[in-house]
């Protein structure tokens, strides 16, 4: 089995876009939503952190949302929130 990110003919930007789409597809399922919630909770996304370790986890949560889920600015975030509110999610 080969993965798209191993293909040297695909540009890095395209690989990143495909990875974002893969993450979004996985986390759009009911089980994916449960898993994403657990991951972001474990990474202390919505908590005030008090230790250096938790600070690193919190920063990774932000990286994950920005780079892996493609939520890179407030416009994308507010659009996502609006879509979720309308769909009842």
Residue 86 has pLDDT above 70, yes or no: no
**Distance of alpha carbon 31 from alpha carbon 26, whole angstroms:** 8
pLDDT in tens, 28-73: 899 999 999 999 999 999 999 999 999 999 999 999 999 999 988 8
Q: What is the DSSP string of 1-64?
A: ---GGG-TTS-HHHHHHHHHHHHHHHHTSHHHHHHHHHHHHHTTTTS---SHHHHHHHHHHHHI
Residue 6: pLDDT band by 50, 70, 90 thresholds?
confident
Task: Fill in the DSSP letter of residue 82.
Answer: H
Residue 77: pLDDT band by 50, 70, 90 thresholds?
confident
């Amino acid at each position: 089995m080969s993965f798209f990110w191993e293909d040297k003919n695909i540009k890095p930007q395209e690989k990143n876009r495909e990875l974002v789409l893969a993450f979004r597809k996985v986390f759009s399922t009911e089980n994916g939503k449960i898993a994403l919630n657990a991951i972001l909770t474990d990474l202390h996304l919505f908590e005030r952190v008090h230790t250096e370790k938790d600070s690193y986890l919190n920063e990774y949560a932000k990286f994950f949302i920005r780079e892996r889920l493609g939520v890179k600015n407030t416009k994308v975030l507010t659009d996502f929130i609006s879509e979720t509110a309308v769909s009842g999610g």
